[in-house]
């Protein structure tokens, strides 16, 4: 294991980060443009978002093998990732959903408990004559911090674990996709 050097990243590390940003921005902008256009044309067209979201999740999942491949020193294209995930997309989505359930219910319980506590503290602050706007912002921030600092990273860890396990399974049990002329031959052996 060689740790990343944040101020001197390798070309492969930049590609990893850049591709993540590119895929995210493509999906985000696609949804934004679709939603904005639908709202301008006719509000009923906002229902197209209900088609876009599942399609975006499926396409996003089909491109995800690019990342563990890049992290393990392999060089596959998005097209190869798309092929390698054939038959595994729904399994990856269902596995991550099942893995998320327990944490999701813990998060919901935390939100309910935090909202009850915040309501009580807001009432107490109001009875003490503290400014309501500052109190609301402070208490809202205190509730949001655990969501951002704990729950979001754990959800990410669960997804990365599911993705890594499926990638490893595919690499051990499926033939490698054809070599892409742009990226060159595969590196490493199929047991990585």
Provide block-wise average pLDDT over 10 residues at a time, the chain (192 residues). 71 80 90 87 83 91 91 86 92 94 94 89 84 84 88 91 92 69 46 40
With H, G, I as helix, E, B as strand and everything else as coil, classify residue 184. strand
Bridge partners of residue 80, in order along the sequence: none
Q: What is the pLDDT of residue 106?
A: 94
Q: What is the pLDDT of residue 64?
A: 92
- Say what the pTM is: 0.73
Neighbours of 64 (CB within 10 A): 25
Q: What share of the chain is helix, strand, coil (3-state, %, to 5)?
A: 75, 0, 25
pLDDT tens track for 28-74: 898 889 888 888 888 788 888 888 889 999 999 999 999 998 888 88
Q: What is the pLDDT of residue 113?
A: 92
Do 136 and 62 meet the contact criterion of CB atoms below 8 Å apart? no
**Cα distances (Å, whole numbers) of residue 24 to 29, 31, 38, 56, 98:** 8, 11, 21, 10, 24
- Give the integer Cα–Cα distance in Å for 159 and 96: 6
Q: What is the pLDDT of residue 143?
A: 84
Q: What is the pLDDT of residue 192?
A: 38
Q: What is the pLDDT of residue 74?
A: 85
Joined tokens for residue 16? 């990893």
Q: What is the pLDDT of residue 109?
A: 94
Q: What is the pLDDT of residue 178?
A: 58
Joined tokens for residue 95? 């596995």
């Amino acid at each position: 294991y060689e740790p990343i050097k944040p101020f001197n990243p390798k070309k492969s590390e930049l590609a990893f980060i850049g591709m993540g940003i590119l895929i995210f921005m493509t999906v985000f902008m696609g949804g934004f443009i679709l939603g904005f256009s639908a709202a301008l044309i006719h509000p009923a067209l906002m229902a197209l978002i209900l088609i876009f979201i599942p399609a975006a999740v499926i396409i996003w999942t089909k491109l995800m093998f690019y990342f563990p491949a890049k992290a393990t020193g392999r060089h596959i294209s998005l097209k190869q990732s798309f092929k390698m995930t054939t038959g595994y997309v729904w399994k990856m989505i269902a596995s991550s959903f099942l893995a998320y359930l327990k944490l999701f219910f813990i998060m919901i319980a935390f939100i309910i408990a935090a909202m009850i506590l915040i309501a009580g503290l807001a009432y107490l602050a109001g009875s003490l004559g503290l400014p309501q706007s500052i109190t609301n912002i402070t208490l809202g921030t205190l509730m949001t911090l655990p969501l951002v600092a704990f729950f979001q990273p754990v959800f990410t860890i669960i997804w990365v674990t599911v993705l890594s396990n499926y990638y490893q399974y595919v690499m051990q049990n499926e033939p490698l996709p054809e070599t892409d002329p742009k990226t060159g031959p595969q590196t490493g052996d199929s047991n990585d």
